Amino acid sequence: MNIWRELRRAGELRVVAAALVVAVAAVSTIGFFTDRVQSALNTRATDLIGADMVLSSTSGINADVTQKLEELQLQQVKLVQFPSVALTEDDDSSLIAVKVVAEGYPLRGELQISDSLGGTARVADGVPPPGEFWVGGRLLSELGLQVGDKLQVGELLHPITRVIQYESDRGGSLFQVAPRVMFNNADLEASGLIGPGSRVRHSMQLMGEPEDLQTLRDWVEAQEIAGLRLQGLSDARPEIRNALDRVGRFLGLAAMLTVLVAGAAVTVALQGLVQRESDAAAIKRCFGATQAEVLGQLFHRLGLVCLSASVIGLLIGFGMQAVVASAIGQWFDADLPAPGWTPVFAGLATALITLVGFGLPSVLRIRQVPVVRVLRRELGAPPAAAWLVGGAALVALALLLLWQARNVLLAGLVLFAMLAAVLLLALCSWFAAYLARHWPNKLRSGVPFGAAALARRQGAGLLQVSAFGLGLLALLLLTVVGGDLLENWQRELPQDAPNMFLINIQPEQRDGIEQKLKEASTGPIDLYPMSRGRLVSINKTLVDPENYVDGRAQNLARREWNISSLAQHREDNPIVAGEWWTEEQLDQPLFSVEREIAGNLGIEVGDSLTYRIAGEDYSGVVGSLREVTWDSFKPNFFLVATPSWQAQLPATYMTSLRLPEASQGALIASLVREFPGITALDVRAVIAQVRSLLDSGSAAVRYTLAFTLLAGVVVLIAAVQASAGERRREAALQRALGASRAEVRNALLAEFAALGALAGLLAAAVAVVVGQLVSRFVFEVSMPIDWSLLLIAPLVAAVGVAAAGWFAARSVLQTPPVRVLNSEM
């Protein structure tokens, strides 16, 4: 049997095929993409860390460690990395990520460079010689520079001689905010960029025999050297792995929404198909075919449809993953490898599970078609039990969710959320249909007749509105509400919010900088001392990250905190427990801890805390807990101490200020020239970077959810098709009784427009409510309700659904009424 002809002639099979194509395309788009990323991470593990093992620390590699490395005769290359500011000869500036390298870098993998922006990449045969900068292409684009131009970084003024195309140990440079500048270790001291308390990461790339590396690992773990991190091949870039794993899972779950909607289409279409096939089944049985043979023939056809749809879906998925990869492409420096075969099998499995889970109970009904239907057409297969259809679909969906989420709780939550959304939409559309049914309506033709049809076809209407509404809801939530949230977050920043941060100010630079800033800025200038230390004990009990269940608390116990001091209480940091220190207490070792971090670590007023700062332990007592508004863009700290306590610590200074935009560039240039070690952060640039990262992430999700909307359209077509017979009869009767073509057409369009408007209105209403809840309770941003959504979404959906429904049901008008009425005799 020719499957293409089958598809041409049987509308239900076309819908099943379309639903499976959309489901497979959605799942395989994500599958292909995550497979490429995983494969990049797995195959380039050595590339990712650029060595067999890397030791790193913010406070430098101490002498004991260096001695141990010598002892084990491991090959070593030293790296220093930190943020800074680059300045052009035209006083344009940019935040940069500096990497200072020594001969031998990288130990594994390669560094690729070119002679110009966009030039042919080649493997570098060394590192930048002293007196030269090698920079990332993005810096050249951002500052409008070319190879040969001079750049100032700290006190260094060197020419750019090469463009970096690929750094092996940068691998997936996730959340790469600043472009790279690389220079030789011999220039580090002259740069004046490193001072006590600077935000610097010192690393040591290592290469050697596996047993020596293991010996080193055991030794480092036994020594428990504070702040020293060790990365081997197996734990290469865990932050990238975790982040991408999460992104992959999230996108996978979004794809599951598509599968759910596509599954609904499969259920509706197969119910229609079984209805249509009932005659054929009865006649075949009449001529001697067994139940198994009839069922087998149907399975055979569906199998072919499933396979063909899977292939098409996989091809679309393969194409779309390239689009997703390019949307998130800025997260990566290098091209991703080609995907493997796993997503192909995953796509096939999705199609099969969707078809079986959502369609099998309907298909099995074909066995129950009574043979005597050939004589008495009113006898058909009994409808599949609702619990069986729902149960099978639920099992299929749960299986798919579990597979994507790889976490029972997460899969359960998503399943619950999906079902809740479906139920809510179904309940609302049932209520709307109920109202329509009981609305006084004296006109029985044309538009009112069509709108009332929604109430007449209640079951199909419920499904249509729910499934289409679900697709629309997903899209609205992400695009409109998500966009609004970001806009409002930015709008919430006060007009006088600082637009520049200066960090890494050395104590001897403090007065000079303060003077210069006072001249340039209209507001007051507050310079805060800043030290970095790790919390080692609470009330003399050692802090062990493993003792905390909460991941955030574990992280806080492991990392270094920014510590500052204040004499006077700042009003934007309200005290929520305890008291701010008095004048008399200023010489005592007292702390004020941020409320949330205190809650995470179980810190209370009166507790004694000990911090390890530059190898020494310093203690104090918690006098108060403070509330901090982090997105005010003012300097804020987890721990604020009395000034006398901080005076004993090594510290740099930081400040934030608001500068007129016109003078900002010139001021940064002059500050960096005069005080080379400082780092200026342009807040607008950071917001722009964050926004761009969020945009690229949400673009990827939008592509996935576009499939959901497409699946919603397929459900709509399936449902229209399922009620096409009824519609055709109604139209024929209307026309036989004197209704004009225009009246019948208007009734049809009104029915679909009403359906679209209802789905659009419900989706918009739910999106608004969810958006408000998320903004208030998750992002803690007050977002005004966008009432226009309640008008625009129903309007757009009404027009879209009317067009799609008209396309699916246009044959109703083209069939002469007499033929329809005769065929029903």
Residues contributing to the site for other proteins (CB under 8 A): 6, 9-10, 279-280, 282-293, 370-372, 374-377, 825
By C-beta, is 15 or 798 nearer to other proteins?
Answer: 15
By C-beta, is 195 or 370 nearer to other proteins?
Answer: 370
User: Which residues, 6 or more positions from 425, have their beta carbon under 8 angstroms from its beta carbon?
Assistant: 465, 466, 469, 470, 473, 759, 762, 763, 766
Per DSSP, the chain holds a count of helices (H) and strands (E) of 26, 22
By C-beta, is 382 or 545 nearer to other proteins?
Answer: 382
Give the shortest CB-4-to-other proteins separation in angstroms: 12
Q: How far apart are CA 355 and CA 12, in angstroms?
A: 13
Q: What residue has token string 């919430």?
A: 492
Give the shortest CB-721-to-other proteins separation in angstroms: 15
By C-beta, is 273 or 502 nearer to other proteins?
Answer: 273
By C-beta, is 461 or 817 nearer to other proteins?
Answer: 817
Give the shortest CB-388-to-other proteins separation in angstroms: 22
Give the shortest CB-825-to-other proteins separation in angstroms: 8
Instruction: Locate 717 and state its tokens.
Output: 């077509």
Give the shortest CB-689-to-other proteins separation in angstroms: 58
Give the shortest CB-283-to-other proteins separation in angstroms: 5
By C-beta, is 374 or 694 nearer to other proteins?
Answer: 374
What sign has the CA pseudo-torsion 579, 582, 584, 588? positive
Looking at this protein, which amino acid is placed at residue 620?
G
By C-beta, is 226 or 289 nearer to other proteins?
Answer: 289
Instruction: Locate 80 and state its tokens.
Output: 């220093």
3-state helix vs strand vs coil in the chain, percent to 5 = 60, 15, 25
Give the shortest CB-370-to-other proteins separation in angstroms: 7
By C-beta, is 27 or 812 nearer to other proteins?
Answer: 812
Give the shortest CB-6-to-other proteins separation in angstroms: 7
Q: How far apart are CA 692 and CA 176, in angstroms?
A: 11
Give the shortest CB-304-to-other proteins separation in angstroms: 14
By C-beta, is 293 or 627 nearer to other proteins?
Answer: 293
Give the shortest CB-360-to-other proteins separation in angstroms: 21
By C-beta, is 132 or 279 nearer to other proteins?
Answer: 279
What sign has the CA pseudo-torsion 440, 442, 443, 444? positive
Q: How far apart are CA 685 and CA 177, in angstroms?
A: 9
Give the shortest CB-808-to-other proteins separation in angstroms: 19
Per-position DSSP letters for 689-758, written without gaps between them: HHHHHHHHHHHHHHHHHHHHHHHHHHHHHHHHHHTHHHHHHHHHHHHHTT--HHHHHHHHHHHHHHHHHH
Q: Is 606 exposed, middle or buried (0-12, 13-18, 19+ CB in 10 A)?
A: exposed
User: Which residues, 6 or more positions from 280, have their beta carbon under 8 angstroms from its beta carbon?
Assistant: none
By C-beta, is 644 or 815 nearer to other proteins?
Answer: 815
Q: Is the N-terminal amide bond of 106 cis, ω within 30° of 0?
A: yes
By C-beta, is 9 or 246 nearer to other proteins?
Answer: 9
Q: How far apart are CA 578 and CA 605, in angstroms?
A: 6
By C-beta, is 13 or 314 nearer to other proteins?
Answer: 13
Give the shortest CB-378-to-other proteins separation in angstroms: 12
User: Between the CA atoms of 373, 376, 377 and 380, what dihedral angle is there, to the nearest 10 degrees?
Assistant: -50
By C-beta, is 283 or 769 nearer to other proteins?
Answer: 283
Residue ranges of E strands in 58-187 = 75-88, 93-101, 111-114, 122-123, 133-136, 150-153, 156-167, 180-184
Q: How far apart are CA 6 and CA 13, in angstroms?
A: 8
Cβ-contact 187, 130 below 8 angstroms: yes
By C-beta, is 149 or 279 nearer to other proteins?
Answer: 279
Give the shortest CB-9-to-other proteins separation in angstroms: 5
Q: How far apart are CA 281 and CA 373, in angstroms?
A: 9
Cβ-contact 39, 334 below 8 angstroms: no
Give the shortest CB-274-to-other proteins separation in angstroms: 14
By C-beta, is 243 or 724 nearer to other proteins?
Answer: 724
Give the shortest CB-298-to-other proteins separation in angstroms: 12
Pairing outcome for strands 53-57 and 201-207: antiparallel
Pick from 68, 52, 51: which is nearest to 225 by CA? 68
Own/partner contacts of 409-415, CB < 8 Å, gap of 24 or more, are 410/249, 410/253, 414/253, 414/256
Other CB atoms closer than 10 Å to residue 103's CB: what's the count?
Answer: 12
Quote the radius of gyration of the chain (alpha carbons, Å).
33
Pick from 74, 79, 37: which is nearest to 61 by CA? 79
Per-position DSSP letters for 374-410, written without gaps between them: GT-TT--PPPPPHHHHHHHHHHHHHHHHHHHH--HHH
Query: Please, what's the b/e burial string for 12-28 (b: 16 or more CB within 10 A of its CB; e: otherwise)?
Result: bbbbbbbbbbbbbbbbb
Per-position DSSP letters for 741-765, written without gaps between them: HHHHHHHHHHHHHHHHHHHHHHHHH
By C-beta, is 27 or 281 nearer to other proteins?
Answer: 281
Give the shortest CB-374-to-other proteins separation in angstroms: 6
Instruction: Locate 516 and state its tokens.
Output: 């210069």
Which ranges of 336-385 would DSSP assign to H, the alpha helix? 342-364
Give the shortest CB-368-to-other proteins separation in angstroms: 10
Give the shortest CB-361-to-other proteins separation in angstroms: 21
Q: How far apart are CA 43 and CA 595, in angstroms?
A: 44
By C-beta, is 44 or 284 nearer to other proteins?
Answer: 284
